[in-house]
A and B are shown apart, each in its own frame.
Chain A
Amino acid sequence: MTDIAPRAVTSGGRRRPGGGPRAGTVIAFLTPFFLPFVLFYLVPVGYALWQSFRVVRRTGGQYGTSYTTFGGFDQYTQVFQNSEFWNSIGRIGLFGIVQVPVMLFVALIMALLLDTPLLKLKAFFRITAFMPYAVPGVIAAIMWSYLYSPQLSPVVDLFQRIGLHPDFLGPGAVLWSAANVSTWLWTGYNMLIMYSALQSIPQELYEAAKIDGASNWTIAWRIKVPIIAPSIVLTTVFSIIGTLQLYAEPAVLRQISSNISSTFTPNMLAYAVASGNNYQQAAAISVVIAVITFVLSFGFMRLTSKKAGL
């Protein structure tokens, strides 16, 4: 350790005067990530954009050769005139408006309860809630589909014993059965994000409030919730993105329910259109989904940051 100074002198010439690394070194650190990032993120995004402005046309009648050419906003006009597209958006909108607040509310309540000194068995509750995060969406949907299926389900059995005959896969219920799978998967994850934020609040804040005579509920709603607002916003944005990307869960439920069409969610529609070899149309649908995701995520962040003054 005593030879720090001499070595510093001998190696001084290798660096820029500012003391930071040379440009070559910076590039060597960044390239391993940015090369695949450009190839597998930016290029596909650009390619999808380019494809979405192209159309397939034919020369002459039905038997003419086909070729792709620039089509302006033709593909987008078709997307917006497609009733299946609006149906899938409507479905996912309804799903999100109900599922996201319910899930986040339950997650928030759990996080607040875990944060009180009164609750016992904290580690157990934390782990059971978080465990579904380790389960892939496909597997979770398979598990739940067995619990929904009238032949196998012990849950349906229990309902029948008390005289109810729920049809989890029926036309009205199947959307909520899918919503339940998402809720099961992600409540614990969101709970843990909020709980981690709660744990970083200094305890002195509560003590001051207690001296002022605040109850546990007042402390929870007036102090804790506003402080962890940024993490609630974060979980909401993640949930919005997740909802718009919904694919695996409804695709699995579709295997056992005739009430889920191949165009049930926007992503399923994009895949169905791509399978029908209309890649340009599928690209336009993907771009629209991505734009909606951006607008909603940023819109929500803007809205909440203005309101809460964050």
Chain B
Amino acid sequence: MALMFLLAVYFLLPVYFLIVAATKPQGELATTNGLAFSHFNLFENLRILFTRSDGIFGRWALNTVVYAVLGAAVGTLISALCGYALAKFRFRGREFLFSVVLGGVLVPTTALALPLFLLFSATGIVNTYLAVFLPSIVSPFGVYLARIFANAAVPQELIESARLDGAGEFRTFFSVSSRLMTPALVTIFLFQFVAIWNNFFLPMVMLQKESLFPITLGLYEWNGQTARAPLLQESVITGSLVSIVPVIIVFILLQRFWRTGLAAGSLK
């Protein structure tokens, strides 16, 4: 019990520090105790954060939502279709295709980013939304999960009876199978959302235009400038808080999906 509390303190400490620091005026960051509140300046900090450099932070937030939400949505759909087909349709080369996908799980995304940059610069889509969005929709791990879930959650008899009912395969998938796979689809969506949201290397390699940055890359650039412009420090801190709180809340709300997803993911 004591050990668990100690660990809980460890996990909460940086977030607590961030909350405290985000409420302080810039001048008090270094002069007051980092773990105690002083003058409450959160709203002023937020105003500065969102108006700095013509409101670029708001743009970054929007970009992050576009990359992560849209990328995860499209990614979940295509992973689900593929995983479902690999689980439920019998065709030649099925196991081979699945092994290729599994191999894809092991390819380090950082090892992909550099050659992708070269290919994308040859085709002229470097420094566009597509350069980050397109590679993000591919999730071999999503296909792996979708296949496991489809196997476990969609009875073959149900597909057969939908077929007898005269429904086409797509209609069967969208109106019967995908309903049964809903918790799985939410899990795949969340996994991919986090993967895109965490992927820092790809946007860093692909983007030079600040207006296309996700929050992580933007804050990284600002953080690198704090030595020359110390006033940026408060905005980096407030920006970090703004960027993590909504996601943490979503996670806590959706945690029952996570848990089922992880349980299935850990089956071998």
Residues of A within 8 A of B (CB): 4, 7-8, 10-11, 15, 18-21, 23, 25-26, 28-30, 32-34, 36-37, 39-45, 47-48, 51, 106, 109-110, 113, 119-121, 124-140, 142-147, 151-155, 157, 184, 187-188, 192-194, 196-197, 199-200, 230-231, 234, 241, 244-245, 247-248, 251-252, 255-256, 267, 270-271, 274, 279, 282-283, 286-287, 289-290, 293-294, 297
Please state if B8 and A139 are interface contacts (CB–CB under 8 Å): no
Check A128 against B14 for contact (C-beta < 8 Å): no
**B114 adjacent to A270 (CB under 8 Å):** yes
Extra contacts, 6 of them, besides A192-B259, A248-B201 (Cβ < 8 A), are A32-B81, A41-B138, A48-B114, A110-B4, A143-B18, A274-B117
Q: How far is the CA of A269 from the CA of B227 in the complex (A)?
A: 24
Task: State whether A294 touches B262 (Cβ < 8 A).
Answer: no
Are A29 and B259 interface neighbours, CB within 8 A? no
- Which residue from chain A places its CB closest to the CB of B263 in the assembled complex? A196
Q: Which of B41-49, B103-111, B178-186 forms part of the interface with chain A?
A: B103-111
Question: How does the 8 Å CB contact mask read for B77-110 relative to A, with 1 for contact and 0 for none?
Answer: 1110110111001110000010011001011111
Known interface pairs A8-B164, A40-B116, A45-B112. Does A113 touch B4 (Cβ–Cβ under 8 Å)?
yes
* B58 touches A (CB below 8 Å): no
The residue that A157 contacts in the complex, of B34, B220, B237, B259, with Cβ under 8 A, is: B34
Assess the B107–A290 pair: CB atoms within 8 A. yes
Chain A, interface SS category: helix
Closest to B122 in A: A47
Q: Are A230 and B201 neighbours in the complex by a CB distance under 8 Å?
A: no
Contact, CB under 8 Å: A15 / B111: no
Residues of A within 8 A of B55 (CB): none
In this assembly, does B210 line the interface, its C-beta being within 8 Å of a C-beta of chain A? no
Q: Which residues of B contact A241 (CB under 8 A)?
A: 106, 108
Give every chain A residue within 8 A of B106 (Cβ-Cβ). 241, 293-294, 297
Among A41, A274, A293, chain B packs the most CB atoms within 10 A around the CB of A41
Interface size grouping (class) on chain B: 35 or more
Q: How far is the CA of A43 from the CA of B237 in the complex (A)?
A: 39
Whether B219 and A26, one on each chain, are in contact in the complex, defined by CB atoms closer than 8 angstroms, is: no
Report yes or no: B219 in contact with A142, Cβ–Cβ below 8 A. Answer: yes
Contact present for A244 and B14 (CB under 8 Å): no
Taken together as a complex, chains A and B put the C-alpha atoms of A143 and B17 apart, in Å, by: 8
Q: Is the CB of B114 within 8 A of A138?
A: no
Bound CA span A253–B138, Å: 30
Q: Does B236 contact A (CB under 8 A)?
A: yes
- Known A-B contacts A30-B97, A32-B77; the reply to A147 vs B165 at CB < 8 A is no
On whether A134 and B194 interact (CB within 8 A), knowing A110-B7, A120-B1, the answer reads: yes
Report chain A residues within 8 Å CB of B262: 192-193, 196
